[in-house]
Amino acid sequence: MDEIDKYFYIVIAKDHLSAQIYCTDSYHHDLDLDFNEEQIMGFLQKNKVNYGIDHQVIRQVSATIGKEAFPLVIAKGLPAINGKDGEITYETNFSTEIVHDSEWDFREVMHIPSVATGQKLATLMNPTVGQEGVTVEGNRIKAFPGKRLIIKTGKNVVYREEDQSFFAVTNGQLTRVGNYIHVHPVFEVHESISMKTGNLDFIGSIIIHGDVPNGFTVKAGGDIKIFGMVEAATVISEGSIYISEGFVGNNIGLIQAKENIKVGYINQGEVCAGKDLFVENSILHSNCLARNQVVCQQGNIIGGTLSAGKSVDVKDIGNHLGTKTEVVFGIDKSIQDRKDQLFSEKEKLQDALTKLEILGKRLEGQSNLQSPRSRISYLRYRNTVHKAETRLIKLEEVLEQLDAQIGSEKEASLLVRNFIHSNVIVSFGKYKQMIRESYHYVAIHLIKNEIVIHPLFN
């Protein structure tokens, strides 16, 4: 055995999952060595290598191979395989996206994931326990079992233990919120909103077969479909909003959705879409925001402000009368205006505090500070400073929370299918350009920090 130690040594990997045999400087392939497999096995055991031994390598070593062949992996351990976490398999598609192929109609804005009573929604898969490993020394390597996936039943959903499956107990819209699966039934109103129904605040989707008049509020945790018009009302959805006719806001109405908005026309209203805004006809004197795109291919945008994160596709912008109209990319104009206002107030407060600091030093330097009049003046000064500092802290907190960014202005584009008229302001982030003359059939982009107008097609 000592003879083998003269020519070979063993190195075990740090993870103990492999062992290599090395030859010493005394080893030469032309030596007349006569080590059999049993002796080499004993040598391995002496070096605590007991598992995963490669007998083919042992035969190579006993045959006195060339020195350049070393080192050789003479044993391999078995790595531990940790268990897989539990999984859930859904039986229906949650996506609300529409495939935009060559036959896509922009009127098809969303697909509502709907389920029927008794329909299987999902099935839980158990975690696996894993498989233990073994080191080359023969020691066991612990495997960690997978974690169980915790999914709970929400509204209108039941769980069947036998096959670990979830089922709907009513017709409705399927949603996931955190670890809960819900089915939100659809609430329908078969007439215009009136005092008979009052305001609507519903967790699921709402369908209204009529109008939403002035002053009413409609809120939904799902989608809202209105087969009529919306006057100076408030319509807020956690999903998408569809209005078959139009929205006349009278500068007080609001339409807001976290997903898409599809509407016939917009007049003097405020509209905010978390994704896309589709308008069949015109947008007049309104403030609109879409974090993705605005599509208004058959109508005009006249007056007001339009903010978009990615693109605006429109027939006409502005008019022959030169009505001021603003199109902004990359930022929410209303939030940016609010930030600018707060920044201005912040600068004024900082300037006032600087002047107050000078005044305070003068007051503290007065020899008669203990007199009643001086004490009153000093206390007034301290009170003014405290109010200014408190307001400044509040402003900084609000400014930190305000985020006007809604996309990348460098990737944004404005497509005009007919005319863009004078007195239209186009902004890409901080870059702004006033249109001085009418252009026909053009695209506008931000290229190398410069707003470029070029023909839509050459």
Find how far residue 78's CA is from the centre of its chain: 41
Query: What is the C-alpha to C-alpha distance for residues 79 and 20, in angstroms, rounded to an integer?
Result: 17
Cβ(455)–Cβ(441) below 8 Å: yes
Give the up-direction half-sphere exposure of residue 333: CA atoms within 13 A in the CB hemisphere: 23
Strands 283-290 and 254-257: unpaired
The per-residue pLDDT for range 37-57, each reduced to its tens digit, is 888 888 888 899 999 999 988
The per-residue pLDDT for range 2-28, each reduced to its tens digit, is 578 888 899 999 999 999 999 888 877
**Arithmetic mean of pLDDT, 187-206:** 81
**Arithmetic mean of pLDDT, 129-158:** 92
**Arithmetic mean of pLDDT, 393-417:** 73
Strands 224-226 and 205-208: parallel
Return the ∠ at Cα 309 (arms to 308 and 312), rounded to 5°: 45
Taking all residues of the chain, what is their mean pLDDT, rounded to a whole number?
A: 84
Cβ(333)–Cβ(406) below 8 Å: no
Q: What percent of the chain stands above pLDDT 70?
A: 86
Q: Which tokens is 157 given?
A: 């959903």
**401 contacts: CB under 8 Å, gap ≥ 6:** none
* pLDDT value of residue 187: 78
**C-alpha to C-alpha distances, 426 to 338, 452, 453, nearest whole angstrom:** 19, 11, 11
Query: What is the C-alpha to C-alpha distance for residues 273 and 255, in angstroms, rounded to an integer?
Result: 8
Q: What percent of the chain stands above pLDDT 90?
A: 40
User: Phi then psi for 8, rounded to 5 degrees?
Assistant: -135, 155
Residue corresponding to tokens 């305001």? 199
Q: pTM above 0.85? A: no
b/e map of 152-169 (b: 16 or more CB within 10 Å)?
Answer: ebbbbbeeeeeeebbbbe
**C-alpha to C-alpha distances, 309 to 275, 299, 330, 371, nearest whole angstrom:** 9, 20, 5, 62
pLDDT of 110 higher than 50: no
Ranges 146-150, 232-236, 321-325, 405-409: which has the least confidence: 405-409
pLDDT of 441 higher than 80: yes
pLDDT of 255 higher than 90: yes
- Give residue 109's pLDDT band: very low, low, confident or very high (50, 70, 90): very low
**Arithmetic mean of pLDDT, 435-443:** 91
Query: What is the C-alpha to C-alpha distance for residues 321 and 285, in angstroms, rounded to an integer?
Result: 14
Nearest to 244 by CA among 293, 289, 291, 192: 192
Question: What 3-state class would DSSP assign to 137?
Answer: coil
**113 contacts: CB under 8 Å, gap ≥ 6:** 92, 93, 94, 95, 96, 173, 174, 175
pLDDT of 106 higher than 50: no
Question: What 3-state class would DSSP assign to 379?
Answer: helix
Query: What is the C-alpha to C-alpha distance for residues 182 and 174, in angstroms, rounded to an integer?
Result: 6
- Give residue 260's pLDDT band: very low, low, confident or very high (50, 70, 90): very high
Ranges 152-156, 175-179, 206-210, 295-299: which has the least confidence: 175-179
**Arithmetic mean of pLDDT, 234-239:** 92
Where do the domains of the chain lie? 2-76, 87-133+141-182, 337-396
Query: What is the C-alpha to C-alpha distance for residues 262 and 86, in angstroms, rounded to an integer?
Result: 40
Q: Where are the beta strands (DSSP E) in 221-346?
A: 224-226, 234-237, 241-243, 247-248, 254-257, 261-263, 266-267, 270-273, 277-279, 283-290, 293-308, 311-317, 325-329
